[in-house]
């Protein structure tokens, strides 16, 4: 639980401190990219760290990870100073948008936490392979990272997603086994928040939104409609597991033996 709170604090801080960058880059969007700030912070942090490591500027250590994060924060601070008044005004006038986005993030995290708690084992399908890649990246001083199976060779596989997970592992000194599950929880939360933010901005420019706005239903309608994004991306697209659960419980399912037994009566 302590590790979970550390990760929550880390992503909350990084998302908020990098918001000036998303505010500037996505200045034409209604939310200024606030809901995407956590994902954006992790991506820019990871990409700059990867490039710096590839060129030998930093090593894959806690100090190297922290240095790149401070550089990202410094860049964002510079952008904030250039747009201080505009950012402050936007935050004061969009408290509902900010709170709604953070509430969705927390609900998604708690939901995935409840799902993972009964089954935290890293077994089955590709999970052992993924943990091996994460360990290989975590133990490599420079990239490309060492292959966990073939000694002396680098991973011949795309590994950027595992590299992103390695950043909080290094910074917070979380064990890779614990980080595997925590990463799933926060990936779920950040995807939910970012996808809803993306759809929110799309709908804000649609004719449907403008009609609802004239009816006085602007904020509730647009927020509720934006929830369709995480619903389709995270829930409906992964409903196979739920269907397997119903099958195992015998719900809405009849086997040949059951049908044959019933036909005798």
Residue 26 lies in a domain: yes
Residue 262 lies in a domain: no
Q: What is the pLDDT of residue 209?
A: 59
Per the structure, how many domains does the chain have?
1
Residues of the chain with pLDDT under 70: 207-220, 253-265
The answer, as to whether pTM is greater than 0.85, is no
Distance CA 148, CA 134 (A): 9
Residue 261 lies in a domain: no
Q: What is the pLDDT of residue 1?
A: 77
Residue 242 lies in a domain: no
> Do 223 and 98 form a contact (C-beta atoms < 8 A)?
no
Residue 247 lies in a domain: no
pLDDT digits (tens, 9 = 90+) for 144-188: 999 888 888 888 888 999 999 999 999 999 999 999 999 999 999
Q: What is the pLDDT of residue 158?
A: 87
Residue 241 lies in a domain: no
Q: Comparing C-alpha atoms, which of 225, 230, 236, 232 is closest to residue 201?
A: 225
Residue 65 lies in a domain: yes
Q: Comparing C-alpha atoms, which of 180, 190, 179, 201 is closest to residue 233?
A: 190
Structural domain harbouring 193:
2-226
Q: What is the pLDDT of residue 215?
A: 47
Q: What is the pLDDT of residue 21?
A: 96
Residue 129 lies in a domain: yes
**Is the Cα torsion angle 64, 70, 72, 74 positive or negative in sign?**
negative
Q: What is the pLDDT of residue 63?
A: 96
What b/e sequence results for 204-224 when a residue is b if at least 16 CB atoms lie within 10 Å of its CB, and e otherwise? Answer: beeeebeebeeeeeeeebbbe
φ/ψ region of 143 (left if φ > 0, alpha if ψ in -120 to 50, else beta) reads: beta
């Amino acid at each position: 639980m302590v590790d979970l709170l550390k990760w929550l604090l880390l992503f909350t801080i990084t998302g908020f401190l990098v918001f000036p960058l998303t505010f500037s880059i996505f200045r034409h969007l209604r939310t200024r990219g606030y809901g995407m700030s956590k994902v954006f912070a992790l991506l820019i942090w990871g990409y700059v760290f990867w490039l710096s490591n590839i060129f030998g500027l930093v090593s894959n250590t806690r100090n190297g990870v922290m240095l790149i994060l401070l550089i990202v924060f410094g860049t964002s601070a510079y952008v904030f100073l250039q747009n201080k008044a505009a950012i402050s005004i936007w935050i004061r006038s969009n408290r509902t948008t900010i709170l709604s986005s953070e509430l969705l993030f927390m609900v998604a995290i708690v939901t995935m936490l409840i799902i993972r708690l009964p089954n935290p084992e890293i077994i089955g399908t590709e999970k052992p392979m993924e943990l091996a890649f994460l360990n290989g990246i975590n133990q490599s001083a420079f990239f490309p990272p060492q292959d966990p199976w073939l000694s002396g060779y680098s991973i011949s596989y795309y590994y950027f997603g595992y590299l992103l997970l390695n950043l909080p592992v290094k910074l917070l000194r979380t064990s890779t086994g614990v980080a595997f599950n925590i990463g799933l929880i926060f990936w779920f939360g950040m995807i939910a928040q970012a996808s809803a933010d993306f759809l929110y901005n799309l709908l804000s420019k649609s004719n449907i939104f403008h009609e609802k706005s004239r009816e006085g239903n602007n904020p509730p309608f647009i927020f509720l409609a934006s929830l369709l994004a995480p619903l389709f991306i995270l829930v409906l697209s992964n409903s196979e597991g739920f269907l397997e659960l119903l099958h195992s419980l015998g719900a809405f399912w009849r086997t040949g033996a059951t049908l044959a037994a019933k036909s005798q009566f």
